[in-house]
Structure formats: structure tokens, C-alpha cells
Chain A
């Protein structure tokens, strides 16, 4: 039974810029938005777009991700034919290899793709927050008679040099690709989401693999090769919310934007485009008398006795009496003890912040760092964590870290 289009989701990234958050888990498994993980977004997009076969390419610290994906049931991806498959590098008769680059990761799984005999393959990235209808994208690809299409976002010209840019003519046909150029000729940034005709993708993957000089990367090798051969390549403009959450500050910012869907455009309250996730199974959250909760998102299992302002709390967070949380992202199972002040920061899962400890600070003129506390860390009573700190070891009571 052939599938029209299957998805390959690149989830092997280490996410080294998220450092303390990705010590023990891959970037796509990083929690986001109160009850999700980053990978919930592309997976939910797939299901909502009618794609029922997804290969997830993992490499770095896959344990949490593997367990989280499981049989794919929370995303309705437990299917008889297709469904979700986690694809780590594996050993072959001819030897074994880590995924050398994004293109090589797909190359090593050509036989997986061929089992479904698809006409099209969509390549997705596991480190973006975006709600996108891939069926609209495919429709565009077919209408253009394209062999390759890439989703692009218009970005401000002054920011364009930070991105891979697609130069396209009036019809949307791509004439040139510029990777982080000093003098941009376009402000259409690649979102790293591609649709290929499978026969074309396979041909170029095989050719790329045969080239010992290649970095086996889509941006650096495959796309330039397609251009060289004057293939039918089109840029598909996407105008919804899209954010690469590869850095601490962008991850924090994206979380804060969830609190303001009216302005940011990232609306998780959309009944027609639900984002699915594995459920915590905890009871409803509880806000005690004397607590203050303003402009925040709170989910199951939380117990709030202190003050929470403009923050996102994940499942099972406990905020004791007298604790103050502001502009913060507090991930699942963390405990903020009484009198602690936690501001403008990211606190990962199962962290304990001791009594009267201070973590992070609201931005001042020359300082707008987002303090980050890694998973499972204990911050002792009366400890002080500065706004630039990246904490990946326990901090004793009364100590300071900047």
C-alpha cells in the first residue's frame, strides 16, 4: 500500500546551545508551553495534516525521546500500516555509522522510506515551534509541478544575514540559495522544512553519499546540487508563527509568547489544530487561599500557595507559601520552597529551589540574561543564582553562582 507522502523528522540534534537543558535529553524532547515537548508540534502537525507515517531520526541522548514517543498513541500514530517509528543509526552488513549529517541520516534510512513507496517525502525539523498545515504545503508543491519545495518565512532584512535565504523569482521558483550571507539578496528564510519528490530525493542522496568531500547536509550539499542541475525548486511562503528554539533566550521568549497569543500568534487554544502530548495523568491543579496567580499558564498536578506572575508552570510544580515566581518557565515536578524568588529564568524538570534562594533577576539596563537551572538540580536555602548563570551542578545553601 503506497503512501502519498511520509514525513522524516530530524531529531538527532544535540542542542548544545541549550546546554543545561540538553545534558540528558535531545533537543526535540525539551519541554515547552506548560505540557508539551518541542517534538509535539511537528508530530501534531503531521497528524492534523493527514500524514500517518513518520520516521524520527534520533542520535543524541535518545532515551527520553524514545520513551516519550513510545508507540505513538498520544498523537494517534499507532497505526497498522505506517505510524511513528524511531530510527536510530544501526549496524549493517557493510558496517555501521553515526548519522554524519542531515542528508546522511535520511540516506541511511532509504529502505525505511521505500517500504511505503511514497510519491513525496517531507523533511521536518525537531527544534521549531510552529503550527503548520503540511497538506497546504503539498498542494503548493503539486500545483507548481515542483521537484523540491522549501517552506520560507519573510524575515526583517536586517536579520536576514542570520538565515539560509532563498532567492526566488515572481513565480516562486528558486534561483539562488545563500547561506548566512553578508549581503542578502532575499529576505525569505528557509524554515528547514522541505518537500521532495521521492525519486529526486533518492537520486541526490545517493549521489551525495558517493561524494567523499560532502558534509552530507541538506543546506550545504543537497540544495546547492539541486540548483546546479536547474531542478524545479519552489519557495512556499509561510506566514504563521514560527520560532527556532535553539537557544535559551529564544526558548524562554517562545514560552512567554504562549502567554500572549493575541499578539504573538502562537495560539495553543485552537480546537481545530490541537497539539497532542503524552499526558501527566495528574489531578487538577490547586490554587490555595492566599496565593496570587496572574497572567500565567498552569496545568495538572500544580499546587500553588505562593505568588506566580507571567509564568508557565508544567505538571506537578509546587510553589510554597511566600515564594515569588515572575517571568519564569518552571518545568515538571519542580519545587519552589517558601520565600524563594525565581525570576526571568528557565527551571528544568524536578529541580528543588531552597527556602529564600534567589534565582535570576528581572532585566535591568545592561543585563537581560535568562538564568537556567538543569534537570534534577538542588539549589540550597539562601543560595543566589545570577541572571546569566547556567547551573548544571547542585548549589549548596548560601552559595552564589553568577
Chain B
């Protein structure tokens, strides 16, 4: 199987749903948003794929992707330095007529030649705003057994308020499924139904040849969205199967859900649910272990390496290299890499982006329903 790897190649759309978290993607994209004290969102999908022997992975970056290129580097941390396959990063091809893609069709159309050259029989496509420790092998197996043309993974959950309430046009499309005996009968775009829905995870399995055909046709017609323009109108012709996912799912739909999904991991049950599967890999920073100095007081926290803690911290997520000085008080915060809380500062319900400094004695408080976000390199 030297040239076929294991039968599936991966395609990741790292910019999907960027518009839901404008604060966090100011200097990055969805895939490189830090999450769970030492990871970035893409780590979960990438690690899940490599654990399922999907080792030919294309990342369709669109804009703001420097942080992601830096994070992924050669792909070594995910074991993606391969002679056959490995990691490919595809930026939009710069021509006079080219522009960043608006949907998957444009992105995929730009790599059709690449796709034609590959040997894998199947393609797995995902976004990165959904945090899962996903078993792609099981889904591919279900896809093959059902004889489907396309399989869509979904979970059962209520639609997040953030999506329903956000009526602006730039929120991106999200999809709910009407399922009959496992087959998708209808796809609803931006539904506002209450109660538990079959909420698409935007994880797809499809045969490579079929994908090429569908994209070819759609692109010629000027269509942009795979779900809205390719799948939805052809549900009677295409056998689209639904694949229910029961594992732990964290969806990033806005800054509030970003805050909440981080905080949820302080519950051991959730932490184990997300991490008890295969290990999640990330870029190594070679930090020393975190040091708790005399006088530090910590309760209910998740902390990465490289931190120095002298102050009083409760119910918080600390990323790598955070410093909490003596007498500082931190409650219900998500503090990203390199944040410094100086002596005597008092902070609550904050999300600090990388390398934020809260100078000594300052008081900054958000609330339970409205955490305050402080952008990269700001000093308060």
C-alpha cells in the first residue's frame, strides 16, 4: 500500500467560521486559535487524522494564515513529514483574477489537479471550529458499509444562541439535517429551530473521484458552497448518509462560547471525555515545568508548562508562559500564552490574548455572560 496510504486523504478548511470570532481572528484564523491551555484548534483534527492513518493532509488556508504556518511548520509534531503524502498547505493561487475563496468549492477547484494525482480512494473534509477527538476510521467504515456517496457527521445538540441570534450576513452558513433511516433527506441552512437538532459537524467522507466530478461541475456553474450548492439540491440523486457522533464536542461559535468551552474543561469529566482517546499533539515550546512559588494559591485551574505563579488563581485556564505576580488575584479567566498579571492586579472574567500585560494594581472585570477580551500585546 505504499502509494495508497490507507485509503483516505484529509482536507482541512482552517478559515471556516472566522467571522464568528472577529476578536480572536484579528491576527490569526480559526485553526490557530489557542485552546485548552496548550493547543490550537487545528491540533485536534490533525491529531485525530494521523491517529487514523490519514497522513496526506491538505490545509486550504485563505487569509491571515501566518500564525498557522508558524504553528504547523513542517508538520513534524503530528508525524506528517512523509515521503508519500504528509502535510500540504495550499494558499490561494495568486493570479490577477484570483481572490480568496468564499466557499469550499472555490478552494477545492484550485487543487483539482492535485486531487487527480492522489492515490487515496476517499477524502475526509473538516473545519476547525469544532473540537473533537474524532475516530475517522469508524466514520470511513460506516461510509463504506452504507454504500453512501457522501457521509456527513453530526451530533445531537441545541443550536447555539450565538448562531441564532447573530442575524448578520457574515456569520457563515451552518447546517442541520433531516434524517430518515440514516439517509439525509433535507439539509437546512441557518435554521433557527429550538430543541435538540441534528447539527452537522461539517465532517464529510466522499470518494475522491466523485468529489472531483462534483466540484468540476459546480465550479463551472460559478457555485461556491459545497453544502448549499452541491449537496442540498441533489439530495434525491446523491445518497447522503448521516453519521451520528456521540463523543465530546466543543463548538466555537462566538467569543462567549470560546470562553465557556475552555472553562468546561475544568470539569474532570469533560477533560477526560475530550482527551482520553488518542493523544493530541501540538507544537513543542520546550518550556520548563510550571513553578508555584511560596504564597501561591490555586484552586480549580488548568495550567500549561512555563508558568510562574505567585498569586491567587481560581477557576481559570492558563496557557504557556503565563506569569501571575504576588498579590495578584485571578478569577474565571482564560489567559493566553505569555500573559502577565502584575502584583496586586485583580482580574475576573477576562480573556487575554497572547502577551497581554495587566499592570500592577489594575482592576479589570467582565461578567459571567460577557467576558472581556483584551487583544494581543496590549498593556492595561
Q: How far is the CA of A300 from the CA of B298 in the complex (A)?
A: 16
Tally of contact residues, B, Cβ under 8 A: 34
- With an 8 A cutoff between CB atoms, is B301 at the interface? yes
Q: How far is the CA of A364 from the CA of B38 in the complex (A)?
A: 42
List residues of chain A with CB within 8 A of the CB of B289.
Answer: 33-35, 268, 297-299, 312-313
Q: How far is the CA of A290 from the CA of B297 in the complex (A)?
A: 11
Is A275 within 8 A of B288, CB to CB?
yes
Q: Which of B279, B294, B295, B308 contacts A282 (CB 8 A)?
A: B279
Is B302 within 8 A of A284, CB to CB?
yes
- With an 8 A cutoff between CB atoms, is B230 at the interface? no
Q: How far is the CA of A240 from the CA of B227 in the complex (A)?
A: 63
Is A283 within 8 A of B299, CB to CB?
no
Interface hits, B241-283 → A, CB 8 Å: 266, 268, 271, 275, 279-281
List residues of chain A with CB within 8 A of the CB of B286.
Answer: 74, 274-277, 279
Q: Which of B280, B284, B296, B301 contacts A286 (CB 8 A)?
A: B301
- With an 8 A cutoff between CB atoms, is B116 at the interface? no
Is A284 within 8 A of B298, CB to CB?
no
Q: Which residue of B lies closest to A311 (CB)?
A: B292
Is A283 within 8 A of B280, CB to CB?
yes
In the assembled complex, how far is the CB of residue B252 from the closest CB belonging to chain A, in whole angstroms? 18
Q: Which of B281, B296, B317 contacts A293 (CB 8 A)?
A: B296
- With an 8 A cutoff between CB atoms, is B303 at the interface? yes
In the assembled complex, how far is the CB of residue B203 from the closest CB belonging to chain A, in whole angstroms? 22
- With an 8 A cutoff between CB atoms, is B291 at the interface? yes
Is A287 within 8 A of B291, CB to CB?
no
- With an 8 A cutoff between CB atoms, is A95 at the interface? no
Known: A284-B36, A288-B268. A269 touches B308 (CB 8 A): yes
Is B298 within 8 A of A291, CB to CB?
yes
| Number of A-B contacts defined by CB within 8 Å | 98
Is B298 within 8 A of A287, CB to CB?
yes
- With an 8 A cutoff between CB atoms, is B345 at the interface? no
- With an 8 A cutoff between CB atoms, is A285 at the interface? yes
Q: How far is the CA of A303 from the CA of B300 in the complex (A)?
A: 11
Is B284 within 8 A of A298, CB to CB?
no
Q: How far is the CA of A215 from the CA of B366 in the complex (A)?
A: 71
Known: A283-B271, A298-B292. A74 touches B284 (CB 8 A): yes
Q: How far is the CA of A132 from the CA of B286 in the complex (A)?
A: 18
Q: How far is the CA of A288 from the CA of B308 in the complex (A)?
A: 18
Is B301 within 8 A of A287, CB to CB?
yes
Known: A286-B301, A287-B303. A294 touches B292 (CB 8 A): yes
| Residue from B39, B281, B290 whose CB has the most chain A CB atoms within 10 Å | B290
Is B290 within 8 A of A298, CB to CB?
yes
Known: A73-B76, A287-B301, A289-B300. A279 touches B284 (CB 8 A): yes
List residues of chain A with CB within 8 A of the CB of B288.
Answer: 33-35, 268-269, 275, 297
In the assembled complex, how far is the CB of residue B268 from the closest CB belonging to chain A, in whole angstroms? 7
List residues of chain B with CB within 8 A of the CB of A286.
Answer: 266, 268, 271, 301-303
Say which size band chain A's interface belongs to. Answer: 35 or more
Is A291 within 8 A of B294, CB to CB?
no
List residues of chain A with CB within 8 A of the CB of B296.
Answer: 293-295
List residues of chain A with CB within 8 A of the CB of B318.
Answer: 284
- With an 8 A cutoff between CB atoms, is B380 at the interface? no
Interface hits, A299-322 → B, CB 8 Å: 299-300, 303, 312-313
In the assembled complex, how far is the CB of residue A142 from the closest CB belonging to chain B, in whole angstroms? 31
Q: Which residue of B lies closest to A269 (CB)?
A: B288
Known: A73-B76, A298-B290. A291 touches B299 (CB 8 A): yes
- With an 8 A cutoff between CB atoms, is B46 at the interface? no
In the assembled complex, how far is the CB of residue B267 from the closest CB belonging to chain A, in whole angstroms? 10
Known: A282-B279, A283-B280. A296 touches B292 (CB 8 A): yes
Q: Which of B38, B295, B299, B304 contacts A290 (CB 8 A)?
A: B299
Q: How far is the CA of A284 from the CA of B268 in the complex (A)?
A: 12
List residues of chain A with CB within 8 A of the CB of B279.
Answer: 281-282
Is A297 within 8 A of B290, CB to CB?
yes
- With an 8 A cutoff between CB atoms, is B37 at the interface? yes
- With an 8 A cutoff between CB atoms, is B238 at the interface? no
Known: A73-B76, A300-B38. A281 touches B291 (CB 8 A): no
List residues of chain B with CB within 8 A of the CB of A74.
Answer: 284, 286
Q: Which residue of A lies closest to B266 (CB)?
A: A286
Is B298 within 8 A of A297, CB to CB?
no
> 11 extra interchain contacts, Cβ-Cβ under 8 A, other than A286-B266, A286-B268, A299-B289?
A74-B286, A268-B289, A274-B286, A281-B279, A283-B37, A284-B317, A285-B290, A288-B299, A291-B299, A294-B294, A297-B289
- Pick 7 A–B contacts, CB within 8 A, sort by A: A35-B288, A74-B286, A284-B303, A285-B303, A287-B303, A296-B292, A300-B304
B-binding residues in A (CB < 8 A)? 33-35, 73-74, 259, 268-269, 274-277, 279, 281-291, 293-300, 303, 312-313
A-binding residues in B (CB < 8 A)? 36-39, 76, 266, 268, 271, 275, 279-281, 284, 286, 288-296, 298-305, 308, 317-318
Closest 3 pairs (CB-CB, A-B): A284-B37, A34-B289, A299-B289
